[in-house]
């Protein structure tokens, strides 16, 4: 970046790369992009990765936001799209934004300011809100009771234990130093979902995360997000189980997630997965998942009942064929 731009207004402006994967996002991608452009950050690189869209996403972006760099690839999923963006990113700081989400004003300034004042922190994230366009025509940033640098201390620091119990980091809230990417590498493209959860778990083994208490982004709720069919794999359960197998329950700072809390978390994920498949008629998957629940919570009588019902349904189905 030019030196005069870096030092304008009496301060340094660290370069920021914003990675935005998009697939058939013509309905809302301009809202996302304008929320970035309106941050008015002079040293910003906006990378839109088109993941094989078949609609007018690319044409719209070219026409309405020519300052955005468009990278196109064959459809390969959100993890691969983010990786394409990471390969191209030149910024000292890297942010992510999903094409159907958006940012509120002051986000970039608050996060850069915090990272500059806290060199021990690798990733700064923040609160976010759910926006339902059917109820509110425009997302509105809530009024702030907190200062821009105030953090949620319970969700800041070495957050590996908290991440084992919940994916508390929403990708569109993250700003990370380039050194995080250089250490952690890319998102796992083999994961259909949960690629972000996997990334934050890996990063939490090496870097502190701090959470700003203010709301600086919104998540767009859509009817599709409420009616999706259950996946064939329980990605959340598998990610946590894999993390525990690799790193255990102890955080880099020595804090430990209680075994009972981890069992409860895994049981909840297995129960939800089994329940969804039971009511979709996938009895073998349901039975296997309720068996997982019982391994973590042997006294869970609801899981036991569903396990027995799923088993009986499987036998009846087999005998009727």
Given a contact cutoff of 8 angstroms between Cβ atoms, the answer to whether 71 and 50 are in contact is yes
Supply the pLDDT for residue 53. Answer: 98
Question: Measuring CA to CA, which residue among 251, 259, 241, 254 is closest to residue 198?
Answer: 241
Q: What is the pLDDT of residues 156-212, one digit of tens each?
A: 999 999 999 999 999 999 999 999 999 999 999 999 999 999 999 999 999 999 999
Rounded to two decimals, the pTM is: 0.90
Supply the pLDDT for residue 316. Answer: 58
Supply the pLDDT for residue 184. Answer: 99
Q: What's the pLDDT band for 142 if we cut at 50, 70, 90?
A: confident
Whether the predicted pLDDT of 2 surpasses 60? no
Whether the predicted pLDDT of 213 surpasses 70? yes
Supply the pLDDT for residue 5. Answer: 38
> How much is the average pLDDT of 11-33?
95
Supply the pLDDT for residue 145. Answer: 58
Please name the residue that has the structure tokens 């089994």.
274
Supply the pLDDT for residue 102. Answer: 96
- Kindly list the domain boundaries of the chain, sorted by start residue: 3-226, 258-319
**Statement: 3-226 belongs to CATH 3.90.550.10:** yes
Supply the pLDDT for residue 232. Answer: 87
Question: Measuring CA to CA, which residue among 97, 99, 122 is closest to residue 107?
Answer: 97
Supply the pLDDT for residue 98. Answer: 97
Give the rounded percent of residues in the chain with a pLDDT score beyond 90: 82
Supply the pLDDT for residue 231. Answer: 86
> How much is the average pLDDT of 48-68?
98
> How much is the average pLDDT of 2-22?
73
Supply the pLDDT for residue 143. Answer: 75
């Amino acid at each position: 970046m030019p030196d005069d731009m870096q030092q304008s207004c009496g301060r340094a402006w660290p370069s920021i790369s914003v990675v935005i994967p998009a697939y058939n996002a013509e309905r809302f991608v301009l809202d996302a992009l304008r929320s970035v452009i309106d941050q008015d950050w002079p040293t910003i690189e906006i990378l839109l990765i088109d993941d094989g869209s078949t609609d007018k996403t690319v044409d719209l972006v070219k026409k309405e936001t020519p300052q955005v760099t468009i990278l196109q690839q064959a459809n390969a999923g959100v993890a691969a799209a983010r990786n394409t963006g990471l390969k191209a990113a030149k910024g000292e700081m890297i942010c992510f934004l999903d094409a159907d989400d958006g940012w509120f004003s002051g986000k970039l300034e608050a996060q850069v300011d915090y990272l500059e004042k806290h060199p021990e922190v690798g990733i700064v994230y923040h609160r976010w809100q759910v926006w339902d366009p059917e109820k509110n025509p425009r997302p509105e940033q809530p009024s702030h009771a907190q200062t821009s640098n105030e953090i949620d201390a319970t969700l800041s620091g070495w957050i590996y234990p908290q991440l084992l119990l919940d994916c508390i980091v929403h990708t569109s809230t993250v700003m990370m130093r380039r050194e995080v990417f250089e250490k952690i590498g890319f998102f796992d493209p083999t994961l259909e979902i949960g690629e972000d959860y996997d990334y934050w778990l890996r990063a939490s083994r090496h870097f502190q995360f701090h959470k700003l208490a203010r709301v600086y982004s919104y998540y767009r709720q859509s009817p599709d997000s409420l009616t999706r069919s259950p996946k064939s794999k329980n990605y959340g359960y598998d990610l946590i189980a894999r993390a525990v197998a690799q790193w255990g329950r102890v955080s880099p700072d020595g804090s430990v997630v209680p075994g009972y809390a981890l069992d409860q978390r895994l049981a909840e994920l297995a129960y939800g997965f089994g329940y969804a498949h039971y009511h979709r008629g996938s009895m073998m998957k349901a039975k296997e998942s309720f068996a997982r629940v019982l391994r973590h919570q042997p006294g869970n009588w609801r899981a036991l009942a569903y396990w027995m019902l799923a088993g009986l349904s499987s036998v009846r189905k087999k005998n009727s064929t």
